[in-house]
Amino acid sequence: MTIDYDVVIIGGSLAGYYAALAATQLRATVALVEPKVDYGFTHHHALTEIGKLAQKLNDAASFGIHATKTDISEDCHISMAWQEAMLYAQCVAANLKEQHSPAILAALGVDVIVGSGQFQSSPQLAFAVNNRLLHARTYLLASGSRPEIPEIEGLQSTGYLTLSNIWQSLQGETLPKNWVIIGGIPQSIEIAQTLARFGCSVTLVVKHPYALSHIDHEIAILLQAQLEVEGVRVLTDKQVTQVRLIEAKKWIQAGDKAIETDEILVATGQQPNIESLNLAMVGVKWHRRSLVVNDKLQTTNHRIYACGDVIGGYDFANIANYEAKIALNNALFFPRLRVNYRSIPWAMFSVPMVAQVGLTEAQAKRLFSRDEVLVLRQYFKTVAAAQLRDETTGMCKLIVLHNGEILGASILGAEAGELINLIALAMSQKIKVKDLANLSPVYPSFSEILEQAAREWSKQKLNSDIAWQEFLEGFFHFRRNWNL
């Protein structure tokens, strides 16, 4: 059998694109099948950024800055702002789409094959697409995911939007005024806040006790409070049981509450795009929401690897790219690298931003003795840069051991995405918290909060060590008397 490629990458996700380029840089022969990248995330982030700007303009009055008044109504202003925001998002998406075009990939050495295909096992393992058999030593599944739709009575007949089609569906001149968003995942919270900043009435329905169930509880409470301050109605511990259309209006039954709305967004989770790949025939197993992989990102067929949200978890591009790097190296060389998410950060583009790496306080206290874990808190209101930018809402939590090892961090606040990168780097390089305390950040900058939080470690250690306190008191007493 002739091997056509070192690796065939299946799926047009950003993780697939990243892996294809990395393979060509390693001088491997690579094919990328079905390069149809979804740029909905670009619209999402672009509109989030414009939503921030809209909020700052609204807040400008608190600084004595007032927009010139005209006869244009507030609704008209919102409509114009929405149209301009969508135009901006479309331009950004078009630019990225051009960068990821098949022509660019082909010029860089990727054999781009547009089309849907499936695996076949006989006579040899191969991937069939466009009446062609692709033979490779290994294969990488990066086909991404699509929204999983919960079974709710009346939902299908009433109609709804999902994360994959919301921005494409809102191309009109006006924005629906009333929204119900079902689901507590990062993207649903980002969209809820963005819509609220464009003047919409938004209700977020979450079945868990917090808006986000997997983040630090203190951070989750602060985030929920911020959403409510901005006008997002958050209903927690509520299960949506029914959706109905009554006199051309959509109604949702969430727990004991009936809510009338113009539009429904379902954002409860994702499921992998794998149905058409004939995986069972080649021995690849999966659960409902993800492929089964080991810590080397091999599926149950050792020649087929997988990365990105096709293997489950939240849809974060940096995590998918990390997995793509591990899977690709194992596929091209020897399967020796193992995934370790301990020092891989993630961030949610809410305002203020939420970012996390490693263990939360609750997770650390389950794994270690409570007396062994120190929680270092610092608030953004103590940071000069936050005061200058009037972005004082938020906190930074470092989770460390008594010996100074950093176990994790949770941050809610301005520039949290940049700050969490520094903590992740420190964790990956096994830098201890005392070294962060020696950081001398530019003043004023948000990095000061890391130095302040790290100094709290020395303070807590000193307060818990009575013998060391007594020694220091005795030492300085001796020095004062000796100098006399």
Q: Go through the domains of the chain in sequence order and give each one's CATH number.
A: 5-37+100-147+271-339 (3.50.50.60), 155-268 (3.50.50.60), 343-466 (3.30.390.30)
Secondary structure (3-state) at 242: strand
Position with higher pLDDT, 102 vs 208: 208
Could you list the residues known to form a binding site for NAD(+), using ranges: 183-190, 269
pLDDT at 73: 52
Say if residue 441 is preceded by a cis peptide, omega within 30 of 0.
Answer: no
Confidence of residue 53 (pLDDT cuts 50, 70, 90): low
- Over residues 296-303, the mean pLDDT reads 96
Secondary structure (3-state) at 107: helix
State phi, psi for 7 to the nearest 5 degrees.
Answer: -150, 140
pLDDT at 173: 67
Q: What percent of the chain has pLDDT over 90?
A: 58
Quote the pTM value.
0.86
Distance between CA atoms of residues 109 and 112, nearest Å: 9
pLDDT at 67: 44
Helices (H), 138-297: 155-158, 166-169, 186-197, 217-229
Could you list the residues known to form a binding site for FAD, using ranges: 117, 309
Res 44 pLDDT > 60: no
State phi, psi for 286 to the nearest 5 degrees.
Answer: -150, 155
From the list 261, 271, 277, 266, the residue with the least C-alpha distance to 309 is 271
Tokens at 95, concatenated? 């630019």
Res 165 pLDDT > 60: yes
From the list 225, 354, 208, 201, the residue with the least C-alpha distance to 268 is 208
Identify the H or E element spanning 370: none
Res 62 pLDDT > 50: no
Secondary structure (3-state) at 402: coil
The DSSP letter of residue 335 is S
Res 49 pLDDT > 60: no
Position with higher pLDDT, 441 vs 301: 301
| Mean pLDDT score across all residues of the chain | 86
Could you list the residues known to form a binding site, using ranges: 117, 183-190, 269, 309
Distance between CA atoms of residues 121 and 115, nearest Å: 20
pLDDT at 287: 84
Secondary structure (3-state) at 149: coil
